[in-house]
């Protein structure tokens, strides 16, 4: 099991010196750091503890100007070593670093009063009391306070023993099989090329595998991995990792990018988050405020959309949507800190709840209720709500990174591979009803709307249409009448009374018994349109036997009765016997028998037809 701990504390309070005394490694590696005697950027070391446990250490700068570097160093920490110099006591960045640790909700650590060689016993007591009080307001309220000195070595053994005991009780980092390495350093090693380092979370990395840098999307391969200066084949979550990459130049990678398996951690420019504003914040978090979002090793400008009210006051909390200045790769559940750029101040922090949200209306409680349920673990159901046109099961699982999750328990309507939230389904049903009502009103003679028309009106993803239609037909929202879609209640309205084209058509056809004029001819004579014919057929007043032969209902019933009678007496009918019996020409008789075959009333056996 691997762990990572980080330092925190005011400038010059002895953080780096303490790390050197503990590990023999000087975390201040930059020439400028040596010259100025201060830490500027993150430094790294590792410490073997008495139990054999190896701990990665991230040393941060205390100077207020380098707070952004400090912020890149505190992600993924198992514990914090808060360092306070005995001669100075609690100072501004002691407080600010503690606030950041608190906003990130890091609860484990040790508070170290260092440089004890410089002070008297009673002064040390005062400083300890002050520190204890300061810690009491933060997530580190329960950590022990130890006096130490890097100079004399006082307390260092106890420090290691305490840290060892602390980590023995620290659970291993969760392996979500979705490794993310938020990059905090990029450099080159001659002969090897580009190396990136970071604290690995959420999964393991392997030598040889293909990975992706986000947000650039660049694909690279891991040539080698190192942990604490040792080559390894596997790096586990919760450890400091250096990855040697093939396929990218040093110049093309920077802090804030994330190394992940391809396609698993997409970049986003919008996130929803729950936010808590520090009670000591100099300002409230106003709607529309320009802030800096720090999460993982990312620092990105953002605009805060306060979803309820116009601001979140100091000490208060609420939901915000953040519009980011550029795409970044983050995950739901990630902790973050918000700072104001000028004058620079840490004001708030929280947890990301949705990294691919829609734009929200403000002051709409449904929005934060949904976010609350999502944050409470109802991710699939709340994600589904974002798709008014439905989403495939696979798409939903991908969007929520919930590979094998069970979708059968969701409150959802399923149509084939498609899932719809109840509101989405109600929306679709409503649109279908309105479209069909309108269509029936405009086209009362038509059986229904052509499929393709409804398809384009509904605007669903094309593959969703057929399963949705089947579902709508099975729940009785619509009826599929031979490819035309209608409300189940729809009846073709045709007035077949005398005088109108429909009436005339029936009159002309009916007037000639079994030998009517051809249908096109009769239509011309009656002035009846194709629609009228279709409507009459639909209503049942007319039976279309073929393209050009139609009988009135009465004629058809008579003809059918004749067929039944003939079969009953003769055993079968043929075109010839029926022609004689009906006293008609061959054309309508053939059309009639073929129609009866098609209707599965008769069956053809050679020249003969028998009843089925
Ligand atoms: N007497 C004494 N001096 C110390 C001790 N620890 C550190 N110092 C001195 O304090 C000064 C600052 O130490 P650093 O370790 O650079 O302090 P830091 O907290 O890392 O400072 P930044 O990284 O710039 O925030 C150096 O001159 C150290 O020699 C100690 O235990 N006793
Ligand atoms: Mg330092």
Residue given tokens 């096109």 in the structure block = 520
pLDDT of residue 445: 83
DSSP letters for 115-139:
-GGGS-HHHHHHHHHHHHHHHTTST
**Parallel, antiparallel, or unpaired: how do β-strands 317-329 and 298-306 relate?**
antiparallel
Tokens of 180: 């993310």
Cβ atoms of 157 and 228 closer than 8 Å: no
- Backbone dihedral region of 377: left (phi > 0), alpha (psi from -120 to 50 degrees) or beta? left
Cα(92) to centroid(ligand 1), Å:
17
Ligand 1 neighbours, Cβ below 6 Å, are 9, 11-17, 37-39, 61-63, 114-115, 117-118, 149-151
**3-state SS string over 259-289?**
EECCCCCCEEEEEEEEEEECCCCCCCEECCC
Residue with CA closest to ligand 1 atom 5: 115
Q: Give the residue among 321, 348, 326 at the shortest CA–CA distance from 337.
A: 348
Cα(51) to centroid(ligand 2), Å:
27
Helix 121-135 vs helix 92-103: angle between axes, to the nearest 10 degrees? 40
pLDDT of residue 106: 96
Residue with CA closest to ligand 1 atom 14: 14
DSSP letters for 390-423:
-EEHHHHHHHHT-TT---TTSS-EEETTEEE-HH
pTM of full prediction above 0.75: yes
Cβ-Cβ contacts under 8 Å for 474 (sequence gap 6 or more): none
pLDDT of residue 164: 97
DSSP state of 356: S
The preferred substitution site among 6, 9, 14, 150 for testing ligand 1, maximizing ligand atoms within 8 Å of CB, is: 14
Residue with CA closest to ligand 1 atom 9: 14
Cα(280) to centroid(ligand 1), Å:
28
Query: In whole angstroms, what is the distance from residue 129 CA to residue 342 CA?
Result: 33
Q: Phi and psi dihedrals of 111, rounded to 5?
A: -100, 120
Tokens of 27: 């975390």
Cβ atoms of 419 and 384 closer than 8 Å: yes
- 47-51 own/partner pairs: CB under 8 Å, 24+ apart: 47/22, 47/23, 47/160, 47/163, 49/160, 49/163, 49/164, 49/167, 50/160, 50/161, 50/164, 51/164, 51/168
Q: From the DSSP assignment, how many helices (H) and strands (E) are in the chain?
A: 18, 33
CA angle in degrees (0–180, nearest 5) for 237-243-247: 130
Q: Give the residue among 579, 539, 549 at the shortest CA–CA distance from 562.
A: 579
Cα(154) to centroid(ligand 1), Å:
15
pLDDT of residue 1: 74
Measured between alpha carbons, how far is residue 110 from residues 60, 165, 463 in Å? 16, 11, 58
Query: In whole angstroms, what is the distance from residue 275 CA to residue 589 CA?
Result: 82
The 10 Å CB-count burial string (b at 16+, else e) for 390-408 is: bbbbebbbebbbeeeeebe
Tokens of 410: 């969701």
Cα(59) to centroid(ligand 1), Å:
12
Cα(18) to centroid(ligand 1), Å:
8
**pLDDT under 70: residue ranges of the chain:** none
For residue 380, give the 3-state DSSP assignment.
Answer: helix
Strands, sheet with 145-147, edge to edge from the N-terminal-most edge strand:
43-48, 54-59, 3-8, 79-85, 109-114, 145-147
Residue with CA closest to ligand 1 atom 7: 14
Query: In whole angstroms, what is the distance from residue 518 CA to residue 510 CA?
Result: 12
What's the burial of 41, exposed, middle or buried (CB within 10 Å: 0-12/13-18/19+)?
buried
The gap between the terminal CA atoms of the chain, to the nearest Å, is 78
**Parallel, antiparallel, or unpaired: how do β-strands 79-85 and 3-8 relate?**
parallel
* pLDDT tens track for 528-572: 888 888 888 888 889 999 988 999 999 999 999 999 999 989 889
DSSP letters for 136-154:
TTSTTTT--EEE--TTT-T
Ligand minimally distant from the alpha carbon of residue 29 = 2
pLDDT of residue 56: 96
Ligand minimally distant from the alpha carbon of residue 14 = 1
Ligand minimally distant from the alpha carbon of residue 67 = 1
Cβ-Cβ contacts under 8 Å for 461 (sequence gap 6 or more): 389, 390
pLDDT of residue 582: 86
Residue with CA closest to ligand 1 atom 3: 115
């Amino acid at each position: 099991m691997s762990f990572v701990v980080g330092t925190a504390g005011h400038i010059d309070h002895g953080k780096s010196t303490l790390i050197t005394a503990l590990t023999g490694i000087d975390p201040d590696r930059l020439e400028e750091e040596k010259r100025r005697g201060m830490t500027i950027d993150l430094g790294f070391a590792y410490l073997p503890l008495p139990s054999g446990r190896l701990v990665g250490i991230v040393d941060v700068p205390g100077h207020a100007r380098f707070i952004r570097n400090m912020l890149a160093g505190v992600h993924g920490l198992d514990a914090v070593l808060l360092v306070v110099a005995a001669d100075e006591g609690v100072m501004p960045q002691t407080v600010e670093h503690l606030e950041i640790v608190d906003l990130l909700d890091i609860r484990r650590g040790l508070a170290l009063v260092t440089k004890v060689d410089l002070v008297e016993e009673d002064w040390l007591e005062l400083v300890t009391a002050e520190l204890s009080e300061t810690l009491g307001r933060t997530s580190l309220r329960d950590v022990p306070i130890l006096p130490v000195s890097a100079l004399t070595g006082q307390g260092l053994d106890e420090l290691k023993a305490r840290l060892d005991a602390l980590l023995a009780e620290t659970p291993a980092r969760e392996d979500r099989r979705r490794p993310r390495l938020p990059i905090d350093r990029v450099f080159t090693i001659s002969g090897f090329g580009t190396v990136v380092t970071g604290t690995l979370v959420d999964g393991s990395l392997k030598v040889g595998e293909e990975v992706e840098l986000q947000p650039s999307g660049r694909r690279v391969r891991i040539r080698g991995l190192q942990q604490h200066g040792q080559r390894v084949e596997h790096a586990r979550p919760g450890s400091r990792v250096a990855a040697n990459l093939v396929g990218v130049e040093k110049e093309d990678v920077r802090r804030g990018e994330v190394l992940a398996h391809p396609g698993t951690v997409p970049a986003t420019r919008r996130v929803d988050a729950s936010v808590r504003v520090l009670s000591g914040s100099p300002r409230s978090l106003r709607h529309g405020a320009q802030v800096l979002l720090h999460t993982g090793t990312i620092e990105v400008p953002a605009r805060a959309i306060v979803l309820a009210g116009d601001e979140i006051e100091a000490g208060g909390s609420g939901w915000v949507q953040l519009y980011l200045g550029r795409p970044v790769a983050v995950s739901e559940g990630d902790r973050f800190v918000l700072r104001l750029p000028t004058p620079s101040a840490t004001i708030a922090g929280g947890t990301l709840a949705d990294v691919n949200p829609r734009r929200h209306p403000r002051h709409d409680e449904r929005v934060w209720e949904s976010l609350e349920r999502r944050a409470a673990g109802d991710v699939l159901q709340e994600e589904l709500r974002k798709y008014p046109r439905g989403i495939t099961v696979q798409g939903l699982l991908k969007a929520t990174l919930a590979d094998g999750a069970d979708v059968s328990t969701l409150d959802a309507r399923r149509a084939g591979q498609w899932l719809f939230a109840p509101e989405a389904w109600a929306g679709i049903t409503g649109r279908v009803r309105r479209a069909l009502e309108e269509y029936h009103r405009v086209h009362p003679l038509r059986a229904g709307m052509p499929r393709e028309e409804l398809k384009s009106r509904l605007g669903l993803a094309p593959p969703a249409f057929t399963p949705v239609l089947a579902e709508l037909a099975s729940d009785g929202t619509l009826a599929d009448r031979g490819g035309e879609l209608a409300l189940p209640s729809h009846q073709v309205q045709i007035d077949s009374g005398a005088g109108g084209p429909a009436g005339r058509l029936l009159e002309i056809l009916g007037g000639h018994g079994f030998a009517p004029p051809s249908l096109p001819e009769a239509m011309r004579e009656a002035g009846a349109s194709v629609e009228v014919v279709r409507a009459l057929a639909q209503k049942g007043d007319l039976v279309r036997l073929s393209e050009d032969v139609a009988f009135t209902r009465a004629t058809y019933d008579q003809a059918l009765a004749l067929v039944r009678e003939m079969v009953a007496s003769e055993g079968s009918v043929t075109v010839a016997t029926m022609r004689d019996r009906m006293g008609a020409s061959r054309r309508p008789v053939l059309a009639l028998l073929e129609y009866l075959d098609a209707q599965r009333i008769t069956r053809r056996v050679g020249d003969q037809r028998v009843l089925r």
